[in-house]
Structure 1
Amino acid sequence: MPPYPAALFACVALCMSTPALALRFVTEDYPPFNMLEENQVSGISTLILREALSRAQLSAEFELLPWARALAMARSQPQTCVYSAVRSAEREKQGHKWVGPLVDDRISLFARVDSKIKLRTLGEARNYRVGGYVADAYGDYVERQGVRLDRAPADLMNLPKLMAGRIDLWVAGSISGAYKAKREGYQHDVKLLLSGGEPRDSQMWLACNRAVPDALISSLNEAVKSVHADGTAARFAARYH
């Protein structure tokens, strides 16, 4: 049996002394990190979290929702956490408790494969029509570079808009953007034009409501670290390459 960190025993003691905590993990369709497969929420981030929960002897219900709603629920509902969330300054102010990082997906701009656009920085995209979606931290970052975004209610609307010429560029993660294009049958029709941002800007976490006990957060953080350290997270990621 592998050794368990002290935080795990603190969490076990907490759970034994109080009624079981009904954890709820909410997310969006953000393949390959969070997605629906065979009627079950899966993807790289989800698999990491399910494994971490198992190692910490905890459980949670997983649910796929529109992103803005998932974020709002983690702010307002006790025992609710949202992922895969960038740990932005704005979200730090909202009092979340953080677990991770889970995965990394660089902030990128995609264009149609026949596009003649050339960029040296993300900020140079200000001269073009750029698509993003509501409440997305990657879009927030690009806007801070002086780029005005055409925000759709959901990211799945942006690829058709790009193909139809309604936007010139699409804000997405370097991994997730390419995966979505392949899933939707556009893998030969789009290209990654440019990536930017610091590592912290593209790391994604589990963001929990402030009511989630500190001992539970510590236990989950230790478990997530172990999932990465022993290569399990890398094996999960390899399933989607």
Structure 2
Amino acid sequence: MSRMLITCFVLATLSYSGVASALTLTTEDYPPFNMPTDGGKVGGISTEIVQEALKRAKLDAKIELLPWERSLSMAKSQADVCVYSAVRNAEREKSFKWVGPLVADEITLFAKADSPIKISSLDDAKKYKVGAYNGDAYGDFAEKQGLKMERVVQDVQNLPKLAAGRIDLWVGGAKSGMFKAGREGFKGKIKPVFQLGDPKDSEMWLACNKGMADEVVNKLNDAVKSIVNDGTAERIGKKYQ
């Protein structure tokens, strides 16, 4: 074999190995699914499921906690990058290869705990100003239902706005909304008033760059299915209740 052919073979082998072992996973601070830990790492339900899936698939990855729009952008534009916990919707469907679902978190409208607001239908909600954040699929979903949205850069800005009466409602996940309120000092100060959409609208996935090798995506999907089927996913979720 010529030296040139040997060199090409080595480079190709290294390139393939890089696909299989040098993944980057991006995410946001979205408790209890993905969030910083006291040790400076990333934890949460989705994170633990993803880490277990990587272990079972015999893959390595680094996890970066970033603003959500940047996390999405990296997964769309950079090879070997995936983002979680991403809602799988029509707008995103063709932009990624999908692994999951990892978790679900019903789309919910929250009001202040002492608010007189009562909502029994979508039409009732349309008269109120709803807080969301940039790039959030739940906010996008609510907006498409005809709700009046007011966006911020990061979701944690919405709780003080709700408390101050600058927005009437806040759209979030049933689990994550209450968890965030407790963490940010608003425990007992918000209440769910209405649920939007079908439960499948709230399923969240690992969304991988379109250039990700199918073999890697298939390995991760098989691993996630095994995690769900053997009860590991349920045990992880209970740790955060």
Normalization by structure 1: what TM-score? Answer: 0.91
Q: 2:84, 2:204 within 8 Å by CA — same for their partners in 1?
A: yes
The 1-side partners of 2:187 and 2:141 are apart by 25
Q: Does 1:84 align with 2:82?
A: no
Give ranges in structure 1 of 5+ residues lacking alignment: 1-13
2:161 match: secondary structure: helix
1:62 match: secondary structure: strand
2:17 counterpart residue number: 19
The 2-side partners of 1:190 and 1:199 are apart by 22
The 2-side partners of 1:77 and 1:132 are apart by 27
The 2-side partners of 1:19 and 1:74 are apart by 19
**Superposition deviation, residue 19 in structure 1:** 2.6
2:187 match: secondary structure: coil
The 2-side partners of 1:223 and 1:77 are apart by 23
Q: 1:134, 1:151 within 8 Å by CA — same for their partners in 2?
A: yes
1:54 counterpart residue number: 55
Q: Which amino acid aligns with 1:93?
A: K
Q: Does 1:238 align with 2:233?
A: no
**Superposition deviation, residue 185 in structure 1:** 1.9
2:218 match: secondary structure: helix
Q: 2:142, 2:196 within 8 Å by CA — same for their partners in 1?
A: no
Structure 1 residues 115, 222: closer, same or farther in 2, change over 3 A?
same
% same residue: 55
**Superposition deviation, residue 39 in structure 1:** 0.4
2:186 match: secondary structure: coil
Structure 1 residues 220, 16: closer, same or farther in 2, change over 3 A?
farther
The 2-side partners of 1:125 and 1:220 are apart by 39
The 2-side partners of 1:191 and 1:75 are apart by 35
Q: Does 1:172 align with 2:172?
A: yes
1:39 counterpart residue number: 40
Q: Which runs of 4+ in 1 moved over 4 A?
A: 14-17
Structure 1 residues 168, 116: closer, same or farther in 2, change over 3 A?
same
**Superposition deviation, residue 187 in structure 1:** 1.5
Q: 1:121, 1:196 within 8 Å by CA — same for their partners in 2?
A: no
The 1-side partners of 2:135 and 2:15 are apart by 38
The 1-side partners of 2:132 and 2:146 are apart by 14
The 2-side partners of 1:155 and 1:213 are apart by 33
Q: What are the Cα deviations for residues 185-224 of structure 1, in whole angstroms up to 9, with x where unaligned?
A: 2111111111121122100000000111001100100000
**Superposed, which structure 2 residues align to 1:15-164 within 5 Å?**
18-21=16-19, 22-37=22-37, 38-94=39-95, 96-164=96-164
Q: Which amino acid aligns with 1:225?
A: K
Aligned residue pairs total 227
Cα RMSD of the aligned pairs, angstroms, is 1.5
Q: What are the Cα deviations for residues 70-118 of structure 1, in whole angstroms up to 9, with x where unaligned?
A: 1111110000000000001000132x00000000000000000110111
Q: Which amino acid aligns with 2:179?
A: Y
**Superposition deviation, residue 17 in structure 1:** 8.8
Give ranges in structure 2 of 5+ residues lacking alignment: 1-11
The 2-side partners of 1:15 and 1:97 are apart by 23
The 2-side partners of 1:65 and 1:78 are apart by 17
The 2-side partners of 1:165 and 1:29 are apart by 24
